[in-house]
Amino acid sequence: MRMILIGPPGAGKGTQAARLVDALAIPHISSGDMLRAAVAEGTALGVEADGYMKQGLLVPDAVVIGMVIERIGKADCAHGFMLDGFPRTAPQAAALDEALSVAGVSLDAVVLIEVDDSLIVERICGRRSDPATGAIYHLRFNPPPADVVDRLVQRKDDTEAACVARLEKYHAETAPIVPFYEAKGILRRVDGVGSPDEVTGRLKSALA
């Protein structure tokens, strides 16, 4: 299974990605992890990317796409992969599609986890973490024990203002890749509302 996982922030992509790669026995290729690995390994593309990052610049799409092609060419991707975190824009999707075509690789599916914005705001703004144990709670969906409530903290990007800004960026930049893949007939829409087990079941059905 060669696939891309997309969806808005707070849709549960991290949880579902971990479950799917385990069930499908394919590597999870996070754009951030891939970038850090290439830099650590000192590959030609990694060195080039590191140069941009040290200057505080974004790594150009062409370099990231080159890394993707390099990464999926490794032995562990022979039977498939899950790409997560890239592409993030319509131009990136088009450029990646062209690069995959040149490499002789075709995608089986692009899976979109859908969750309404209002629920995403509730999910994200209710998250709290315990600095003592690292445990993550949610004020409504996974309430913390009474004895730890006073020490819980909220991440700066889990405020309503930050969440709304992230959603606006997603709708402006990332959502336009949906019709691109829909036109290719490989988009799979999955309802992300419900328990993690319920969503996993829907994902497996969509990919069957």
- Catalytic-residue membership of 166: yes
pLDDT at 177 over 90: yes
CA dist 189 and 111 (Å) reads 6
Considering the candidates 88, 169, 189, 204, report the single residue annotated as catalytic: 88
Question: Is residue 13 flagged as an active site residue?
Answer: yes
Q: Distance between CA atoms of 207 and 186, rounded to whole angstroms?
A: 10
pTM of the model: 0.86
CA dihedral 20, 114, 201, 108 (to 10 degrees): -50
Please state the rounded mean pLDDT for residues 37-64. 89
| CATH number, domain 2-207 | 3.40.50.300
Of 127, 128, 188, 202, which one is the catalytic site residue? 127
pLDDT at residue number 87 = 94
Q: Is 151 a catalytic residue?
A: no
User: Could you state, in order of their start, the residue ranges of all structural domains in the chain?
Assistant: 2-207
CA distance 13 to 65: 21
What confidence tens digit (pLDDT) does each residue in 185-201 have? 999 999 999 989 999 99
Residue 39's CB: how many other CB atoms inside 10 A?
20
Of these residues, 74, 140, 151, 155, which one is catalytic?
155
Q: Is the confidence at residue 168, as pLDDT, over 90? A: yes
